[in-house]
Each structure stands twice: as structure tokens, then as C-alpha cells.
Amino acid sequence: MTRRNFLKNAATVVAALQVPVAQHATAQASEPVVHRVEIQQFRFVPDTLKVRPGDRVVWVNRDIVPHTATAVDGNWDTGKIEANGVAEIAVVTASTNAYFCIYHPSMKGRLELVPVDA
């Protein structure tokens, strides 16, 4: 495979990752949503998400070093997300809290739980 083709294929993968993401504004209130957080330049983007039980949160690591998304209270942890890797959690009631990266504790994010019928 030529480098040009490799880059083209990589771009296709990135585009595919964007497909399942929906916003609450365009979905039925009761439908589970897949939220995506980009990890780039040692930041979670967005750093705060409003989530409902049943939603899923996907982290995509755009950096060249591994990261984690780890609940401060220890209730959930993606484990190591390699460079260009993806990790996912399902949102349950206990998922709502602050999280950080184990390797880079200055990286902080937050999941804010909202009622299912909100």
C-alpha cells in the first residue's frame, strides 16, 4: 500500500467513527445517545457532557500518547486508550461524576447525569 492510500484509508476510518454520533436535540428524548469525546492535545473535548442512563460515551484518542478516562470515584475506567484508539463506557446512574487521565492528572472531564425524561 502506498503512503497516499494509507492516509486515504485512515481518513475513511475517521469519517466512519463520526457516523454513530447523534445529539440529544435531534433524537427522541428517550433514545439512548452515543456521545463522543475527542482527546486532543491533552484535553477532553468536550470536557463536560450531559448524559442519560442508557447512553454510551466513546473516547477517541487523537494524541500520539496513551490516555485514560477514569472516574475520580473509581466507579468506571476506560483503561488505557492507545494513540488513535477508541474506548467506550455505558452510562449508568453511578457514571455521573468527574473523570481524569491516570497518566496526566491535569486532564479533567465530567459526565453530568440528567433524568431520562428531561
Stretch that binds Cu ion, among 7-15, 16-24, 45-53, 103-111 (CB under 5 A): 103-111
Q: Does 104 bind Cu ion (CB under 5 A)?
A: yes
Q: Does 101 bind Cu ion (CB under 5 A)?
A: yes
CB of 104 vs Cu ion, minimal distance in Å: 4
- Nearest one of 108, 103, 94 to 37, comparing CA atoms: 108
Task: Please tell me the distance from the alpha carbon of residue 37 to that of residue 16, in angstroms, as a whole number.
Answer: 15
Q: What is the DSSP string of 38-53?
A: EEETTEEESSEEEE-T
Site string for Cu ion, 61-90 (x = CB under 5 A): ------x-----------------------
Amino acid at 105: P
List contacts with Cu ion (CB under 5 A).
Answer: 67, 101, 103-104, 107
